[in-house]
Amino acid sequence: MTAKLFKVKVNGQHELTVDASEGTLLDALEKHQLEVHYHCKSGFCGACRSKLKSGSVRYLTDPLAYVRKGDFLPCCCVPESDLDIEH
C-alpha cells in the first residue's frame, strides 16, 4: 500500500508524521512513544476518547462508544487530513 502521510499535532506539543495506510491513529501515537489512553482498542469502551481540534478522520470500524461533539476515538480511525488533537 502506498503511504498516506499526514501531520498530527498532539496536545499542542508533539508534531508527528502519521501514515494513514498503517494501523490506527492510536497505534501511531504509541509507536511515537507518547502516553496513550485506551482499554478495548476496538471502538466500544470510549477510554481512548480524544479531542479533535482540527482536521478530519475516517473510522475503520463503526464506533460503539458515545462520541460527544468535538471528540473522536483514535483506536479505530485514521487521519484523513493533517490533525490537531488533544489525547
Q: What is the contact surface with ligand FES in residues (CB under 6 A)?
A: 38-41, 43-48, 65, 73, 75
* Cα 4 from Cα 18, distance rounded (Å): 8
Chain residues 13-72 in contact with another protein, contact rule CB under 8 A: 35, 37-42, 44-47, 49, 62, 64-66, 68
Q: Minimum Å distance from CB 8 to another protein?
A: 19
* Cα 35 from Cα 62, distance rounded (Å): 24
Residues touching another protein, count (CB under 8 A): 17
In terms of DSSP H, where are the helices of the chain? 25-31
